[in-house]
Structure 1
């Protein structure tokens, strides 16, 4: 599969909380971390999602927010993965920041160069990637 989404994470559906319109789908990655997605109930059905089935999560790098000090911070984002910055590639206006979480899962974020400087992001620094469940696209292999 080829896609423009920088973050492509494969795992298994670990739970589905059904709603009248939307479902909350949890996908457990091989390293045990969990990604939560909000899908319409009809999407859950058409994809054939059920606990134990294989699925993948797509998250655009521009949907990922990075934090460096979460002490005393509570966020409404369902997905918050803490890891270590492995690379920062600076562009003219924005930078690509790669964060290694868990046992090697990479999360890529596109943030402004000002934010990279303000957060002090550099290889080896601890950071948290946060993204909303509604920003996660779920897919399955046909």
Structure 2
């Protein structure tokens, strides 16, 4: 699969927390860093995500906000 997004980070799925509609996927990207994504439970099932799978966090956005 090819994507137009230029920002991707490879990691390993270390945790999947299923809710009723959404799920949290935690990706270990190394050096003690993780990224968490919230997606639908249907997407988790359709994609077949499992703990231990290699996956990519892919970022495509026009804006990034940071606050304190």
Bigger relative contact order, structure 1 or 2 (CA pairs below 8 A, ≥6 apart): 2
Corresponding position of 2:46: 118
| Structure index of larger Rg | 1
Structure 1 runs of 4+ aligned residues shifted over 3 Å read: none
List alignment gaps of at least 5 residues for structure 2.
none
8 Å contact kept, 1:79–1:133:
no
The CA distance in 1 between the partners of 2:16 and 2:33, in whole Å, is: 16
The aligned length equals: 68
TM-score (norm 2): 0.83
**Alpha-carbon RMSD:** 1.8
Q: TM-score, normalised by structure 1?
A: 0.43
Q: Give the Cα separation in 2 of the matches to 1:131 and 1:138.
A: 16
Q: Residues 130, 92 of structure 1: CA spacing in aligned structure 2 closer, same or farther, 3 A cutoff? A: same
Instruction: Tell me the residue number matched to 2:3.
Output: 75
